Structure formats: structure tokens, C-alpha cells
Amino acid sequence: MAEVKKTFPIKGMHCASCVGVIERALRKVDGVLSASVNIATEEGSVTYDSDIIDETKIASAVAQVGYQAILDQQDKDKDQEKIEKNKEILSLKMRAFFSLFLGVLIAWGSFPGVSNYAPLFLKNFWVQLIFATPVQFWAGLTFYRATIPALKHRTANMDTLVAIGTTVAYLYSVVVTVFPSFILSAGLEAMPYFDVSTIVIGLILLGRYFEAKAKGQTSEAIKKLIGLQAKTARVVRDGKEVDIPVEQVQIGEILRVRPGEKIPVDGQITEGESSIDESMVTGESMPVDKAKGDIVIGSTINKTGSFLFKASKVGQDTMLAQIVKLVQEAQGSKAPIQRLADTISAYFVPIVIMLALATFIVWFDFGPSPVLLKALLNMVAVLIIACPCAMGLATPTAIMVGTGKGAESGILIKNAESLETAHKINTIIFDKTGTLTKGKPEVTDLIPLNNHLKEQVLSLASSLEKGSEHSLAEAILGRAEKEKAELQNVKNFKAVPGHGIEGVIKNQSVSFGNRRLMKREKVDVSKAEEKVQELETEGKTVMFLSLNNKLIGLVAVADPIKDTAKEGVDALRAMGIEVVMVTGDNQRTADAIAKEIGIDRVLAEVLPQDKEAEVRKIQHEGKSVAMVGDGINDAPALAAANIGIAMGSGTDVAIESADFTLINKDLRTIAKSVKLSKRIMSTIKMNLFWAFGYNIILIPVAMGVLYPLFHILLNPIFASAAMALSSISVVTNSLRLKRVKI
């Protein structure tokens, strides 16, 4: 027996009766030796025999009575992160208001003008010292805590600047208070500047408080996605339906979903039908009707019917988990535009310290009197106004919010670099099949020639297609099934890529494919030419069937165009983007389809392996190209394009070669994704411009460059207000992306 004791947090407890319920549930489990639950700490403690049961059984027992045992380390970390964050935000708020309250009192007692109305005790320097000290060393402790270890590593940061700046103001004021005669002998007025040190600390803490709150919102989208995950699943085991935690669902298990419930994992419907709201995952607003054989996505909501489905993907493999992973990865990536900010940030703080020292020297040597005071205040202003944070926040916050926004609309962005390239796109190439069209071709015409029968044409064509993996095979076999055509045995089956298929049926050679195949097999098609042209101008793909090298029939197939194709293409053209269609179809068919959708440029009769070359050709014209495909057979073309856009099919979202993955099949999403990348980039540029501009303009002003001409100087208090505002404005500007309508 292996006795194990485990203590773990339990979520969802709110009264003492919960304790009894959970304890009883745990004790009932075979293998549990003892169990106790503590309401105060919201923790459970279980001793069990690990030879008999494992943690999942314990989690399941707790889940069955309606609570959640957090046995998973990741969940615990997430919770700890949240607790730490909240604690930190609260502490920032408290310290900010404490500092500002005392700071304002000190300012009331010392600011020329207003101090006339202040109570006498506030004007006392010793009282001001007593007020300023806890602000400096309790509220401002965070600045020292960050500065001292950093100095040990010979690095400096934002906090270093604030710590030096406020300490200088504080120490000067202490000297004024304790040794006024020393200051008077230097020819200065004995006036402390405790208001500067306290209000600066208060305002910077206040800024950080708002910044921390706003920053929390930047990762809201991903939290929302994670929150979509269903908690329990109803699995059919031994003919009975049992509720279990979703983590315990195994691949291959049959699950029941009732109306209004969340589908727990990915899978395929085995019984029943329903209408499913997939908007939370795909961004597609209309519910989708699904029946037996259709794929369902975990975390989407079942609207009307009840159905059974077989779990095909669980845990980290589900579509939602993949989406979360993709978005997290994108948020961890770096945009090339950030490089300049990176380089600068490495030198920024030391340079500001050097500039502050230089400011002191110049004001002391050449400034108007009182030189020491002016030199000191201007030096402090320089230290306080410099804001490297805004530069550091400019790009990542915009990417966080933007990629989250994308995920909400079914647009998954691979990394920040793709965003940067995407906003410069001026040409988009669409792969026709499965992208512009539904990818489910249907047989529209069956035309027998040379005295053959319609049934014979269908029988021969479908017999051959049986062994084919071509997308048209499904259409022909579907028709054969419908018309109950006879399927015959095929010998020597051969697929000729880009041409068609061949084989021997009843000792006669049969070929079925396009015009190229007929040419290759030296089959004369001239007599059927008129009919072929007619079908092709209708946008149909015509296939030729030959028996012993004689043409015996035509099969016309059309792939219905997606409802959103025209609107999607129009939206792109309205943005000034050239739209190109590439297809294996012949020129006439391709032209007909392109005309219907509104595409001007068509690349027809392109073999699958040549799509990549076509992309490169257009790139050589100096165009920045995006290629849209299904990501399966056009992966090389997607990779060759400046931006590869994969349109989702089923649950295959993890498409490596694509820069953008669109989960839904709505073509309007493409224009949306280009628009989103433009918006994100303009936000980043605006942020960087603001962050750089702010420092470039205000640091010299704080140094006093405007003083000789305009007598303008920056009070350190205003400097701290500006500093606090600058980081907040960068974060809020990024948050605006959340409200962008795309």
C-alpha cells in the first residue's frame, strides 16, 4: 500500500454544510483513507492509497458534488497569479492615496499663496518631515526594492530614476529642516521640498495603479477564451449517462449533449442532430446545422437538439486549446518595429542619469540664482520625467489587445511579425477550390457521346474514381450512389497528377480526366468541342471519359461559390487590394467563376505544385502578396507568399505554414483581418511616436532648454504627472483596439 497525503484548494465552497458534503463524497471513494475539508482555508486534505486511486478520482468525486478541486499545478499557478495581481493593485492604490493625501497637506502648508490659508502646524517643517518620511520609505519602498538589487547587477530601470529623484528632493529638505543655518549660510532660503518628494511618489504610484488595472484588461480576450472551456461532460458508460470533469474524457468515448449545453470536447456526431452556435470560437454569427457524421467543436453551444458524439480530441488537442496556444504564442512574439525601442531601452536609463548630472552642472555653473536650488530641482525634474515604460509598453500591449480581438472574430495571428507584413499587403491570391468555392463539387451534367448510355458513362467514371483521392471523386461517387450506378472492378489503377486517372475495366482501358489527359492519351475530342465550350463558359469543370482511347462521354462538375465570396472580394477591392484567383481549372471555366465573383485577374490551369511559382512571379512584379488557401495542399504557396492565410477546415487550426488562420469559412473575414492588422500597426506606431516624442521633447524641457528664451521650467510635480499619464495613455490607446469595429 502506498499512502499519499494531498492538500489542495477547493473552489465553490460557501457554507459549513459544503464541508460535510465534500468530506462524505471523498470518503465514499474506494482507496481514500481519510478526508477533511477546511472552510476557512478553502482546502481539502486527503490521505489515499495511490495503488488503488489517483488524483483524477479525487477531483471527480469533488466535481460530482458540484465543487472544484484544484489538483492541477497550472490552475494553481493561474490562481496565484491572479491573487498576487489583485493584492498588488490594492496595495498600489492604498499607497498612492496615502502619499497623495499627505503630499497635498504638505503642499498646502508650503506652496506660496495657498499656504496663507493653511493651519499653522502644516507650515511647520518638522511636521512636514514627519508626513514625508513614511511616504518616502513605506509607500516608496517599492522603488528602493527595485533599485538596490538592480544596482548590484549594474543595471538601472525606471525605479532607479524615481528613487534617485525623490531621494534627492527628500534629503535636501531634511537638511533644510534639521540644519537651516547651513542652508542660510549658503545664501539660500531655508525652504524644504517635501511636497515634491511626496506628490511625485503619489502620482507615480497612482499612474502605476491605473496602468496595472488597464494592463489586466489587455489579456482579457485570452482569459475569455480559456473561460469558454466546459467544466463537465456527460459521458455514456455502460449504457448510463454520468457527469464527469471534462479533463477525464477519453478519446473515443460517447458523450451526450442536451439543448442549451456546452459541447465539452471536439468530436463527431454519431446520433441526432442540432443547431450549434459556434460564434465564440469561429466568430461566425449564424448557428450551424449539424447531423450525424458532422464535426462538433468543444466549447461551442448546442442550441436545439440533443445528440450523441464521439470524442476525437481532448485536453491540449482540442480546437479551443490550440487557439489559446496560438494566441498566447503570438502575444509572446516580438514585432520587428520594436527593435529600435529595444536598442534604446538598453541605454535609456543610464543616459538619463548622465543628462540629469549634466543639467545640475550647467544650472549650477551658468544658471540664475539661487543656483543650487534651481540646479537641484531641474535635475530632479529630468530624472522624474523620463519614462522608459511607455516605450516598453507601446508594442506589446497593442499586440496583446489586437491578437485577442482577432481571436474573438475567428482570426488567429501567428506572430507579431506577420502583423507587420500583413498591413502592407497589396495583392491577394485566392486558391479557388475550397476557398472561394464550397469545396464540395456537384455533378451538373452527364453527357454520353458516340451512342453510349448515360448509365455507362457514370458507371465507368465512378468505378475509376473509387480509388481516387481527388476532390471531384466525391461528387461523382455521390451521384453514382444516388443513381445506383454499378461500380466495376478496376485493374492497373493509376492517378496522373494534374491530369486525371486511368485504369483497366473488363480488359478495356479507361481514362477519365481533363483535356491534358486526353492529349496525352491521344484521344480526339474535337467533336465534343462545342459542347465543352458551352459548359465551361457556365463555369463548370468538364472531364472527359475515354474507352480504348475513344471519347465516350463528358462529365461536368461545378463547385458552388460560397455565399460570402463576392462580398469578401468587394471589401478587399474597396481597400485597394488587387484580387487574383489561381486554379487548376481551364481558362474558360476560371474566367466564368471569376466574373461571377468580381475578380479581374485569373491564373488558370495551374498545377498544384506550380502555385508556389505563381506566387513568386507576382512577388517579382513588386507586389506584396497574401495567399489564401485551405492550408492542406497549398502549404508551399502559403509559405512562399509574404502572408499565408489559411481558411479553417474542421478542427485543423494548427496550420504551421500560415501566418493567419481564419477559423470560419466566411470570406469577409479576410478583409477584416487585413483591416485589423492595419489598425494594430497604426496603434503601435501611434504608441511609439507618443512614447519617443514624449521623452525627446520633455526631457530637454525639464533640463531647461526653454528657460533662456521663454523662462519655462518644469516643476518636478508636473513632471511626475506627465510621466504617469504617458504610460497610462499608451496602454489606454492599445485598449481602444478592443472597441474597433472590423
Partner 1 sequence: MDKILVTTIGVFGIIFTYWFFLMKKDKEISASGSINVVVEGGYSPSLISVKKGQKVTLNFLRKDQNQCLEEILLPDFKIKKYLPLNKVVSIEIEPKEAGEYGFVCGMNMFHGKVVAK
**Residues marked as catalytic:** 431
Cα 429 to Cα 247, 446, 490, 651: the distances in Å are 41, 32, 38, 24
Instruction: Report the C-alpha gap between 197 and 380 in whole angstroms.
Output: 10
Contact between 704 and partner 1 by CB under 8 A: the answer reads: no
DSSP characters for 434-451? IIIB-S--EEEEEEE-TT
Instruction: For the CB of residue 251, give the shortest distance to partner 1 in the complex, in Å.
Output: 26
Q: Choose which of 306, 328, 649, 729 interacts with partner 1 (CB under 8 A).
A: 328
Instruction: Report the C-alpha gap between 105 and 131 in whole angstroms.
Output: 9
| Rg (the chain; Cα; Å) | 35
Instruction: Report the C-alpha gap between 169 and 203 in whole angstroms.
Output: 15
Q: Choose which of 62, 169, 341, 473 interacts with partner 1 (CB under 8 A).
A: 341
If the CB atoms of residues 202 and 264 are measured against partner 1, the closer one turns out to be 202
Q: Choose which of 354, 613, 632, 712 interacts with partner 1 (CB under 8 A).
A: 354
Contact between 154 and partner 1 by CB under 8 A: the answer reads: yes
DSSP characters for 379-391? HHHHHHH--HHHH
Contact between 208 and partner 1 by CB under 8 A: the answer reads: yes
Strands laid side by side in the 643-647 sheet:
411-413, 660-662, 643-647, 625-629, 427-431, 578-582, 601-603
Q: Choose which of 171, 361, 613, 712 interacts with partner 1 (CB under 8 A).
A: 361
User: What count of residues does the chain have?
Assistant: 742
Contact between 692 and partner 1 by CB under 8 A: the answer reads: no
Residue pair 411/669 in contact (Cβ under 8 Å)? The answer is yes
Instruction: For the CB of residue 380, give the shortest distance to partner 1 in the complex, in Å.
Output: 15
Residue pair 730/387 in contact (Cβ under 8 Å)? The answer is no
The two beta strands, 578-582 and 601-603, are parallel
Cα 266 to Cα 250, 260, 555, 717: the distances in Å are 11, 17, 37, 57
If the CB atoms of residues 141 and 712 are measured against partner 1, the closer one turns out to be 141
Q: What are phi and psi of 588, to 5 degrees?
A: -65, -50
Instruction: Report the C-alpha gap between 629 and 438 in whole angstroms.
Output: 12
Residue pair 503/521 in contact (Cβ under 8 Å)? The answer is no
Instruction: For the CB of residue 350, give the shortest distance to partner 1 in the complex, in Å.
Output: 4
Per-residue H/E/C for 572-598: HHHCCCEEEEECCCCHHHHHHHHHHHC
Stretch that binds partner 1, among 2-10, 301-309, 322-330, 509-517 (CB under 8 A): 322-330
Contact between 377 and partner 1 by CB under 8 A: the answer reads: no
Contact between 153 and partner 1 by CB under 8 A: the answer reads: yes
If the CB atoms of residues 271 and 342 are measured against partner 1, the closer one turns out to be 342
Strands laid side by side in the 32-38 sheet:
32-38, 43-49, 3-11, 68-69
Instruction: For the CB of residue 155, give the shortest distance to partner 1 in the complex, in Å.
Output: 5
Instruction: Report the C-alpha gap between 156 and 51 in whole angstroms.
Output: 54
Contact between 315 and partner 1 by CB under 8 A: the answer reads: no
If the CB atoms of residues 461 and 691 are measured against partner 1, the closer one turns out to be 691
Element (H, E) at 625: strand 625-629
Stretch that binds partner 1, among 153-161, 296-304, 492-500, 604-612 (CB under 8 A): 153-161
Q: Choose which of 84, 241, 289, 486 interacts with partner 1 (CB under 8 A).
A: 84
Stretch that binds partner 1, among 383-391, 566-574, 605-613, 631-639 (CB under 8 A): 383-391
Contact between 321 and partner 1 by CB under 8 A: the answer reads: no
Contact between 732 and partner 1 by CB under 8 A: the answer reads: no
Long-range contacts of 653-658 (CB under 8 A, 24+ apart): 653/319, 653/322, 653/323, 653/326, 653/412, 654/322, 654/326, 655/631, 657/631, 658/414, 658/631
Could you tell me which of 323, 345, 445, 360 has the C-alpha nearest to residue 395? 345
All residues at 6 or more sequence positions from 566 whose CB lies less than 8 Å from its CB, including other chains: 596, 597, 598
If the CB atoms of residues 88 and 652 are measured against partner 1, the closer one turns out to be 88
Contact between 396 and partner 1 by CB under 8 A: the answer reads: yes
- The H helix count followed by the E strand count for the chain is 27, 26
Element (H, E) at 363: helix 339-366
Q: Choose which of 46, 389, 547, 551 interacts with partner 1 (CB under 8 A).
A: 389
SS3 419: helix
Contact between 240 and partner 1 by CB under 8 A: the answer reads: no
Stretch that binds partner 1, among 341-349, 556-564, 576-584, 612-620 (CB under 8 A): 341-349
Q: Choose which of 388, 402, 410, 553 interacts with partner 1 (CB under 8 A).
A: 388
Contact between 145 and partner 1 by CB under 8 A: the answer reads: yes
Stretch that binds partner 1, among 1-9, 245-253, 338-346, 541-549 (CB under 8 A): 338-346
Contact between 369 and partner 1 by CB under 8 A: the answer reads: no
Residue pair 666/628 in contact (Cβ under 8 Å)? The answer is no
Q: Choose which of 189, 342, 563, 596 interacts with partner 1 (CB under 8 A).
A: 342
Contact between 126 and partner 1 by CB under 8 A: the answer reads: no
Q: Choose which of 26, 70, 106, 159 interacts with partner 1 (CB under 8 A).
A: 159
Contact between 349 and partner 1 by CB under 8 A: the answer reads: yes
If the CB atoms of residues 246 and 330 are measured against partner 1, the closer one turns out to be 330
Residue 317 burial (C-beta neighbours within 10 Å; 0-12, 13-18, 19+): middle
Instruction: Report the C-alpha gap between 163 and 144 in whole angstroms.
Output: 6
Q: Which residue has the cell 508556389?
A: 612
Strands laid side by side in the 307-313 sheet:
240-245, 232-237, 254-257, 307-313, 266-271, 295-296
**Number of shown-chain residues binding partner 1 (CB under 8 A):** 52
Residue pair 485/462 in contact (Cβ under 8 Å)? The answer is yes
Q: Choose which of 332, 467, 560, 650 interacts with partner 1 (CB under 8 A).
A: 332
If the CB atoms of residues 413 and 458 are measured against partner 1, the closer one turns out to be 413
If the CB atoms of residues 184 and 354 are measured against partner 1, the closer one turns out to be 354
Instruction: For the CB of residue 326, give the shortest distance to partner 1 in the complex, in Å.
Output: 10
Contact between 212 and partner 1 by CB under 8 A: the answer reads: yes
Contact between 374 and partner 1 by CB under 8 A: the answer reads: no
Q: Choose which of 106, 139, 158, 592 interacts with partner 1 (CB under 8 A).
A: 158
Contact between 391 and partner 1 by CB under 8 A: the answer reads: yes
If the CB atoms of residues 154 and 739 are measured against partner 1, the closer one turns out to be 154
Instruction: Report the C-alpha gap between 709 and 166 in whole angstroms.
Output: 28
Stretch that binds partner 1, among 63-71, 109-117, 335-343, 716-724 (CB under 8 A): 335-343
Instruction: For the CB of residue 346, give the shortest distance to partner 1 in the complex, in Å.
Output: 6
Q: Which three cell numbers stand for residue 471?
A: 476532390
The residues in 20-79 that bind partner 1, with binding defined as CB under 8 A, are 77
Contact between 187 and partner 1 by CB under 8 A: the answer reads: no
If the CB atoms of residues 151 and 184 are measured against partner 1, the closer one turns out to be 151
Instruction: Report the C-alpha gap between 742 and 739 in whole angstroms.
Output: 9
Site string for partner 1, 407-436 (x = CB under 8 A): --------x---------------------
Cα 191 to Cα 66, 185, 194, 579, 712: the distances in Å are 66, 13, 9, 71, 21
If the CB atoms of residues 14 and 154 are measured against partner 1, the closer one turns out to be 154
Contact between 204 and partner 1 by CB under 8 A: the answer reads: no
Which residues lie near partner 1 (CB under 8 A)?
Answer: 77, 80-81, 84, 88, 142, 145-146, 148-159, 208, 212, 328-334, 338, 341-342, 345-347, 349-350, 353-354, 357-358, 360-361, 364-365, 388-389, 391-393, 396, 415
